[in-house]
Amino acid sequence: MAKPKVAKPDKGFQSGKGFTKEDWDAVSDNPEWTEGDFRDARPFAEVFPDLAESIRRSRGRPALDNPKKQVTLRLDGDVVARFREGGPGWQSRINDILRKAAGL
């Protein structure tokens, strides 16, 4: 199995990377890991099992008590635009309207 490519850390502050010089200075005393640090490191789920389980539970597809079906559907652009104007949840709003139209 090939090793994944890992970006090399910056050796000094470089502007335009999303953080300030003050940010850089605040963490610059964080030493680089040694081979021993890597050897002694343990998986997140082993060190924080409760937190890892709560993250696992809160991600992914919803429970299968009401499975949704993925379909491909072509709609007019102005129709989709109108629903998207309503913000997040536009697909659920379309689902609700179709449900009512189908008499469900």
pLDDT higher than threshold 90 for residue 6: no
Q: What share of the chain is helix, strand, coil (3-state, %, to 5)?
A: 45, 0, 55
pLDDT in tens, 66-92: 677 888 999 999 999 999 999 999 999
pLDDT in tens, 14-66: 888 888 888 888 876 778 889 999 999 999 999 999 998 888 776 666 666 66
pLDDT at site 1: 60
pLDDT higher than threshold 80 for residue 103: yes
* Torsion angle of C-alpha atoms 58, 61, 63, 65, degrees rounded to 10: 160
Q: Where are the domains of the chain?
A: 21-60+71-101
Half-sphere exposure of 48 (CA within 13 A, CB side): 6
